Copies of this chain bind each other. A is one copy, B any other.
């Protein structure tokens, strides 16, 4: 099957990959994979970056569709977006030819 230039699949892979293109965002996702959810404030306490910077990273992951936040005022609980996570799994599995 022919590989198409600038296909939807390529754009999606690139979009998800861009979101993973920073170790802090990879860490956040690994943490969520391990403990199912977390709070921004807790992350802020652990990570050696300003909370505004963390906020920007979380926004990037949200914009990519990989996480979602649920308000538990005054805090926000973040968790993985299962649907898009499954899509990313499938895309990278096919792209990287895993198994």
Contact = CB atoms under 8 A, between A and B. Distances in A.
**Interface range on chain A: under 10, 10 to 19, 20 to 34, or 35 or more?**
35 or more
A98 B98 contact: yes
Interface string A54-88: 00000000000000000000000000000001001
A84 B17 CA distance: 17
A36 interface: no
A53 interface: no
Nearest to A31: B3
Contacts of A31: 3
B34 A3 contact: yes
Contacts of A19: 17
A92 B99 contact: no
